[in-house]
Amino acid sequence: MTTQSMHGGNVAIVGASETDRIGALPDVSMIHLHTNAARRAIADAGIDKSEIDGVATAGPTPIEVADQLGIRPRWVDGTMIGGCSFMALVRHAAAAIASRAASVVLVTHGESGRSRVGVPGYGRAASSISGQFEAPYGALAPYSSFTTPVLAFMKARGFTREDLAEVVVSQRLWAIPNERASRRDPIDVEGVLAAAPIAYPFTKDMCCVVTDAGGALVVTSAERARDLPSADRAVYLLGSGEGTESVIVSQMDQLDSFGPFRRGAQEAFQTAGLSHDDIDHVMFYDAFAHLPLYMLEDTGFVGKGESAAFFKEGHTRPGGDLPINTQGGGLSYTHSGMYGMFAIQEAVRQLRGEAVVQVPDVKTSFVQGVGMMFGAGGSLVLSNQRG
């Protein structure tokens, strides 16, 4: 049994768009960040709405997203595993399309993360596992929970706060020319360390921006993609993986390494039939500065303990040999709450040659997501060639 029918370029992203605006949008409800991006992605694909028979989203139900858009799908997926839900949803959509359970799938995201217009109340049940065993201690916001394992990671690797700051500096270089990015001021390591303290060892610039934003994708078979007006801009799914670990961060199997990154990436490379040397461009979900360091090591691009030097030496910067987070990432570009959609959007732009800061000759992109604060992971290998 192989997963080749859903991978290997048999399924393509044919439409991709973010909301027309991102940032502070107090005039738009959460659901209409979904619908704005969805309508733009459908137009981008050049496909008629009537062909969409699958709807996938995380947060609101796919019932509402479909209904708001006047779609009556025969296939839905509401998998909610946090910010990497969209990696998983692309993967699930590919499986559905390969098995003909769906023909054209719309994947949507939208969050009023900053303005909080039309969103369910923030918080979690006091009787949930996190409500009983983490929230009472202050681990409520991502900055006070997602960050708890990092000192153990830094100690195990011999990393310093300067190493965290280097990640921010590298990514800011990509954001500076990008007018849609939230943080565009040049910054150096000293500047990152001098920023307002949020949760030691993290300063403000080591934490993502908080914005209102949405994004959507249209996914279909390579056969259908070939006949669309967007055919020459199709982005193919070569491989993918996903997985979960614990429902609370304190129960990570290892504090200095995350199983879903290791296993999901391994499966993604294996199903794609590619090695790390074949990858031209990388998107790492960076809600906080430690995540690209974990991911670089856990997904196998570098060895244990080598990630910090890799950032410091400039490999990931503009002009580097492994460009990472090329719109500035969650740290500088945008972060609505579930950032995964924006990592995929930038990978698609790079593969289409339509990025603001375009990397030359990108043929392959690796995208690694994380969800629920070290709860889940999702990995995609994408290409502008069918494979």
Partner 1 sequence: MSEGPVPEPTPETRPFWEGTAVGELRIQRCNVCEKFYFYPRPYCPTCLSEDVEWRAVSGRGSLASYNINYRPMPMFKTDQPQVIALVELDEGVRLMSNIVGVEPVPEKLPLGLRLTVGFEPRGDQFLPVFSPAADGEGE
The DSSP call for residue 20 is S
Give min distance, CB of 208 to partner 1, in A: 15
- Is the four-CA dihedral 332, 87, 380, 297 of positive or negative sign? positive
Closer CB to partner 1, 203 or 379, in the complex: 203
Q: For residue 74, how many other CB atoms are within 10 A of its CB?
A: 11
Closer CB to partner 1, 120 or 122, in the complex: 122
Q: Which amino acid is at 180?
A: R
Give min distance, CB of 192 to partner 1, in A: 16
Q: Give the C-alpha separation, 96 to 285, whole Å.
A: 25
DSSP string covering 252-276: -SBTTB-HHHHHHHHHHHHHHT--G
Give min distance, CB of 150 to partner 1, in A: 7
Q: Tell me the sheet residues that pair with 324.
A: 282
Closer CB to partner 1, 206 or 357, in the complex: 206
Are the CB atoms for 378 and 241 separated by under 8 Å?
Answer: yes
Q: Give the C-alpha separation, 79 to 76, whole Å.
A: 9
Closer CB to partner 1, 134 or 280, in the complex: 134
Residues within the interface to partner 1 (CB under 8 A): 125-127, 129, 131-141, 143-145, 147-153, 155, 197-202, 248-251, 255
CA triple 19-59-143, angle to 5 deg: 85
How many CA atoms lie within 13 Å of 47's alpha carbon, on the beta-carbon side? 31
Are the CB atoms for 319 and 174 separated by under 8 Å?
Answer: no
What three-state secondary structure class fits 213?
A: strand
- Structure tokens that stand for 2 in this block: 């192989």
Closer CB to partner 1, 249 or 362, in the complex: 249
Closer CB to partner 1, 101 or 156, in the complex: 156
Give min distance, CB of 248 to partner 1, in A: 7
Give min distance, CB of 251 to partner 1, in A: 7
Closer CB to partner 1, 70 or 120, in the complex: 120
Q: Which amino acid is at 115?
A: S
Give min distance, CB of 257 to partner 1, in A: 13
Give min distance, CB of 157 to partner 1, in A: 13
- Report whether the peptide linkage leading into residue 186 is cis, meaning its omega lies within 30 degrees of zero: no
Give min distance, CB of 334 to partner 1, in A: 21
DSSP string covering 51-64: G--EEEESSS-HHH
Closer CB to partner 1, 132 or 385, in the complex: 132
Report the candidate in 263, 267, 269 with the shortest Cα–Cα distance to residue 282: 269
